[in-house]
């Protein structure tokens, strides 16, 4: 099995493609104007605590406030349950980029990735990547770290740590400690909101995370980036430095190796299979569905064997597409029906084997009573489809959208419901301009009726950041705010 890493550098974006036996299995696209901030560490300021949403919104100095969930709404060591307060300065790290209009997701459990280790300065335990399956190697690495880690420190041994010596682990550890000490020193000299630490340049981040020993060649099509890559490799992974090659061919790098065509195919709904069958990949907000269609067969065909053959191809290709397209959350695969339970076991094994090589944690949950296979994959960055395409502005990709009347009446119901359960105070609705106009002009008497019935004062605030089906209801009290939300709301 041969692997090659291709890095295309342009002023507007950086793209990295990981090929395995001439098949594209991973693609990272980073636009300069929308560069990922995952991993960045900030000193933020708490803008508001939403007890009803079990969250806090934190200003970290970027366009939209970040979202800090209740589980992370604690001190970084996870032991103290002291909550955050409005106006408080907090140390936070971005764990997920802004997606679908929602702000970035934040955590107070800060980690720093190195080449072989991830440093967790306040977690006080050593863990090993689940992708390192050899028990003897896991025990060896854990034993080495027992002599390196200090009391109160936490570490995760990355996949790249396989075969690492005590000296290599110790060197990586010292560099991470030095970085952390610098962050703590900077924190004492700045005011919130401020960025205390930014992750590596996109090219170097790709090398750190993807250039494992199994990579045969690293192709880079920019001279300065190739030089930077070699220097990084010489410093962090000397064995990889000679594998960095500058692409000088007449054709562009991604065109010469067929990667552009692969990217185009990764943005369409239908994916062909060798047997003639295919996949239909469709994503909605709640989940992604992958439907498996069979190829041609005649009356004399063994239907069970035909289904097994197609499903085996579909399992491998579906797992590849999930990683390639960076599909996350709940994924449901509708395979062709099979009677033999042993055949289903084989399908699950294929999915486990292929998803097990994915850097993003992925779990195959098994077959449901309805005969569907469920998979979950952690959300970290935008899916490829969101990076490469945009939603139709007329219908927002759904073909139909709720009418103003429907949204207005829905909000009236929600105002009445929330007025009965949230603490006393004035209720403020944040919604799109046309929704607020509808409530004021067409449903003004009904809004007044809700005020009279509930004894609440209701304020309607138009906000251009909201689209029609998204809105927030906030209860303003003395010294704090609490929020209520519906399934349509943003911010969570």
The rounded distance, in Å, linking the Cα atoms of 250 and 194 is 45
Residues 280 and 382 in one domain: yes
Whichever domain contains 77, its CATH number is 2.40.50.140
Q: Is residue 92 part of a domain?
A: yes
What is the reported pLDDT for 127? 94
What is the reported pLDDT for 492? 29
Whichever domain contains 336, its CATH number is 3.40.630
- The strand order across the sheet containing 215-220 reads 23-31, 13-20, 3-9, 215-220, 244-246
- Judged on CB neighbours under 10 Å (0-12, 13-18, 19+), 248 is exposed
- Domain of 297? 269-388
Q: What are phi and psi of 404, to 5 degrees?
A: -60, -40
> What total of structural domains would you count in the chain?
5
Single out the residue in 107, 125, 155 at which a domain terminates.
107
The rounded distance, in Å, linking the Cα atoms of 148 and 11 is 41
What is the reported pLDDT for 298? 55
Question: What is the block-wise mean pLDDT of the chain (492 residues), using blocks of 10 residues?
Answer: 90 87 89 82 93 84 87 47 83 88 89 93 90 92 94 91 93 95 95 93 87 85 94 87 92 90 88 92 89 72 86 96 93 94 94 89 89 90 78 61 80 84 86 92 89 89 86 73 43 32
Rg (CA), the chain: 26
Residues 317 and 378 in one domain: yes
What is the reported pLDDT for 395? 62
The rounded distance, in Å, linking the Cα atoms of 149 and 154 is 7
Residues 362 and 456 in one domain: no
**If we measure between CA atoms, which residue out of 84, 135, 139, 74 comes closest to residue 108?**
74
What is the reported pLDDT for 405? 83
Single out the residue in 150, 181, 197 at which a domain terminates.
197
What is the reported pLDDT for 272? 93
Whichever domain contains 239, its CATH number is 3.30.420.60
Residues 302 and 384 in one domain: yes
């Amino acid at each position: 099995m041969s692997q090659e890493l291709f890095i295309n550098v342009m002023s507007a974006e950086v793209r990295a493609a990981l090929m395995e036996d001439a098949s594209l299995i991973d693609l990272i696209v980073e636009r300069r104007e929308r560069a990922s901030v995952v991993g960045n560490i900030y000193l933020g300021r708490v803008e508001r605590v939403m007890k009803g949403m079990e969250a806090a919104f934190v200003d970290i100095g970027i366009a939209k406030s970040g979202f800090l969930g209740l589980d992370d709404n604690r001190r970084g060591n996870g032991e103290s349950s002291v909550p955050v307060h409005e106006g408080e300065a907090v140390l936070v790290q971005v764990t997920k980029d802004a997606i679908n209009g929602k702000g970035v997701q934040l955590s107070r459990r800060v980690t720093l990735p190195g080449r072989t280790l991830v440093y967790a300065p306040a977690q006080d335990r050593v863990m090993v990547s689940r992708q390192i399956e050899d028990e003897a190697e896991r025990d060896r690495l854990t034993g080495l770290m027992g002599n390196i880690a200090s009391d109160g420190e936490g570490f995760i041994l990355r996949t790249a740590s396989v075969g690492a010596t005590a000296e290599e682990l110790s060197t990586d550890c010292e560099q991470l400690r030095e970085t952390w000490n610098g962050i703590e020193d900077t924190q004492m000299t700045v005011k919130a909101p401020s960025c205390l630490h930014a992750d590596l340049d996109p090219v170097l981040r790709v090398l750190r995370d993807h250039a494992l020993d199994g990579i045969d060649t690293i192709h880079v099509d920019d001279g300065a980036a190739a030089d930077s890559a070699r220097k990084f490799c010489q410093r962090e992974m000397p064995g990889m430095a000679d594998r960095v090659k500058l692409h000088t061919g007449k054709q562009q790098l991604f065109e010469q190796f067929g990667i552009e065509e692969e990217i185009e195919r990764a943005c369409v709904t239908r994916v062909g299979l060798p047997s003639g069958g295919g996949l239909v990949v469709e994503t909605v907000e709640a989940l992604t569905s992958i439907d498996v269609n069979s190829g041609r067969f005649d009356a004399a065909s063994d239907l069970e064997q035909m289904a097994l053959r197609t499903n085996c191809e579909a399992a491998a290709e579906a797992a590849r597409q999930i990683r390639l397209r960076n599909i996350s959350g709940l994924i449901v695969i509708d395979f062709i029906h099979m009677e033999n339970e042993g055949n289903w076991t084989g399908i699950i094994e294929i999915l486990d084997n292929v998803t097990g090589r994915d850097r993003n944690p992925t779990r195959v949950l098994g077959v449901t009573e309805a005969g569907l296979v469920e998979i979950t994959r952690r959300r970290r960055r935008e899916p490829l489809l969101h990076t490469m395409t945009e939603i139709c502005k007329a219908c927002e990709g759904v073909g139909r959208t709720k009418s103003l009347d429907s949204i207005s009446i829905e909000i009236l119901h929600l105002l009445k419901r929330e007025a009965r359960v949230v603490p006393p105070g004035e209720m403020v609705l944040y919604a799109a301009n046309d929704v607020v106009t509808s409530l004021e002009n067409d449903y003004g008497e009904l809004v007044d009726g809700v005020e009279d019935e509930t004894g609440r004062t209701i304020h309607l605030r138009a906000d251009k950041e909201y689209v029609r089906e998204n809105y927030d209801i906030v209860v303003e009290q003395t010294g704090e705010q609490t929020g209520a939300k519906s399934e349509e709301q943003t911010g969570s």
